[in-house]
């Protein structure tokens, strides 16, 4: 008679108290794992009937030699935990399995048995088809972080950071170049049923996005290299005062502005070296022209050049003084020649300099001007005394000449403005 509490296989009569398979359609049909796996049939029981796993909690899936002695109940809880919490949440999985297992034990057991063990080798193939490639690796891939490695943060104050919208820990700005570049890839997803055209289209989107990232980083590098941020904040003037350099001429400033498009192709140091080399070239060319001039004048030694330069300086000084004297004399002659048409006429010596200019511009003889001036002033005085007077101006005086002479006498103070 079977011992009380023990269970036996109905086919081979082996003890199955620890683990047995119970048929859900037949009554009192319990099989051991060997008979169940062999498809044993007895009485009305058939191999395709439903079954229920009955575990006493002492059965181990990996045998007695497995490390840790995990029971089948713990194994089932572990598989439930990995499905519920996901791979890597070992603390939550250990709490689900039971207080007897630590997170380290849970991780080691799952990795050794279900990944690197026989079960993992049988279920996980060596090459996974349609596996997604990680393009964010630092090995120069399309989205490699090495393409957009952040530069060291700018040395600016918090107020200046807020003014620029600058985030120092990320080396980013609130408004970047091509702000909407991320919309190219924000909606991309890799599906296993994508055809070749869809895959190439998504690759093209990624390629366009990478180009925009490179251009964004290139502009940041140029701004950092040429100190454009300190220049915007007004700090570059202080730095220039601390580190004095040679004075740049107006021509060099204009040339620097013309060469500004080269900034995007050259670093700051390369551009400064290039500009300094151009300056040295101009200096050398000027020196060569000077030496060639010495040679044309028969000078073959540098000692003779000093004497030659001193003599040339004196000669140019004498020529300059002579030119100044001739120009001054020419001005005086020109001033006298201005009145050449009227200077020999009677009454010329009675005129002032302004009256001479007026008569010369009106082509009016001094005698006629004096006559008209006398009549106008006499009429003005009679009107002031209340004596009626009739205008007796000469017939050669037309309206234009009369108006010019009246304006001149008024501006000179000979007559009042009301009378004119």
- What are 43-75's pLDDT values in tens digits? 889 989 988 878 765 666 666 556 667 877 788
- What are 180-215's pLDDT values in tens digits? 888 888 888 878 788 889 889 988 998 999 888 888
pLDDT of the residue at 118: 79
The whole-number average pLDDT for the span 143-151 is 56
Sheet holding 30-31, edge to edge: 30-31, 19-23, 51-55
Instruction: Find the range with the poorest average confidence among 102-106, 132-136, 353-357.
Output: 132-136
- What are 256-286's pLDDT values in tens digits? 888 888 877 888 888 888 888 988 998 899 9
Instruction: Find the range with the poorest average confidence among 115-129, 176-190, 282-296.
Output: 115-129
Which uninterrupted H or E stretch holds 166? strand 166-167
- pLDDT category at 288 given cuts 50, 70, 90 is very high
- What are 227-255's pLDDT values in tens digits? 788 888 877 655 555 555 667 788 888 88
The whole-number average pLDDT for the span 1-29 is 79
Q: Let me know: does 142 contact 135? Beta carbons within 8 Å.
A: yes
Average pLDDT, the chain: 79
Query: 296: which strand partners?
Result: none
The whole-number average pLDDT for the span 279-295 is 89
Which burial class, exposed, middle or buried, applies to 13 when counting CB atoms under 10 A from its CB (0-12, 13-18, 19+)?
Answer: exposed
Rounded CA gap, 381 and 84, in Å? 122
pLDDT of the residue at 1: 40
Q: Let me know: does 193 contact 236? Beta carbons within 8 Å.
A: no
Percentage of the chain beyond pLDDT 70 is 82
Counting Cα atoms < 13 Å in the Cβ hemisphere of 141 gives 12
pLDDT of the residue at 148: 53
Q: For residue 147, is pLDDT > 70?
A: no
The whole-number average pLDDT for the span 344-372 is 81
Residue appearing with tokens 């119970």: 22
Rounded CA gap, 32 and 21, in Å? 6
């Amino acid at each position: 008679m079977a011992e009380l509490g023990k269970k036996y296989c109905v086919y081979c009569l082996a003890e199955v108290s620890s683990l047995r398979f119970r048929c859900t359609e037949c009554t009192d049909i319990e099989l051991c794992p060997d008979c169940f796996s062999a498809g044993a049939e007895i009485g009305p029981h058939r191999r395709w009937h439903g079954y229920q796993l009955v575990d006493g909690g002492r059965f181990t899936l990996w045998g007695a030699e497995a490390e840790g002695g995990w029971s089948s109940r713990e194994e089932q809880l572990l598989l439930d935990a990995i499905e519920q919490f996901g791979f890597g949440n070992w603390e939550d999985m250990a709490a689900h399995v039971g207080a007897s297992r630590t997170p380290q034990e849970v991780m080691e057991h799952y990795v050794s048995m279900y990944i690197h063990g026989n079960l993992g080798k049988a279920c996980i193939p060596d090459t996974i088809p349609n596996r997604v490639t990680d393009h964010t690796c630092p090995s120069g891939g399309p989205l490699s972080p090495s393409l957009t490695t952040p530069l060291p943060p700018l040395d600016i104050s918090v107020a200046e950071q807020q003014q620029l919208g600058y985030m120092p820990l990320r080396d980013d700005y609130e408004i970047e170049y091509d702000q909407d570049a991320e919309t190219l890839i924000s909606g991309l997803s890799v599906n296993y049923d994508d055809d070749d055209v869809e895959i190439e289209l998504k690759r093209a989107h990624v390629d366009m996005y990478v180009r925009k990232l490179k251009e964004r980083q290139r502009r940041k590098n140029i701004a950092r290299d040429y100190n454009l941020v300190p220049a915007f904040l007004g700090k570059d003037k202080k730095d220039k005062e601390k580190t004095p350099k040679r004075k740049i001429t107006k021509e060099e400033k204009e040339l620097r502005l013309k060469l500004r498009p080269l900034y995007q192709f050259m670093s700051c140091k390369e551009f400064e070296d290039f500009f300094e080399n151009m300056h040295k070239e101009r200096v050398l060319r000027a020196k060569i022209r000077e030496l060639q001039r010495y040679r044309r004048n028969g000078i073959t030694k540098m000692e003779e050049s000093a004497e030659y330069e001193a003599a040339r300086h004196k000669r140019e000084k004498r020529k300059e003084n002579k030119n100044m004297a001739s120009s001054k004399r020419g001005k005086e002659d020109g001033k006298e020649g201005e009145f050449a048409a009227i200077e020999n006429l009677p009454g010329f010596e009675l005129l002032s300099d302004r009256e001479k200019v007026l008569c010369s511009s009106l082509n009016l003889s001094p005698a006629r001007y004096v006559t008209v001036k006398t009549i106008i002033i006499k009429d003005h005085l009679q009107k002031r005394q209340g004596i009626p007077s009739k205008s007796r101006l000469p017939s050669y005086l037309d309206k234009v000449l009369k108006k010019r002479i009246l304006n001149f006498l008024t501006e000179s103070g000979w007559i009042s403005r009301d009378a004119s």
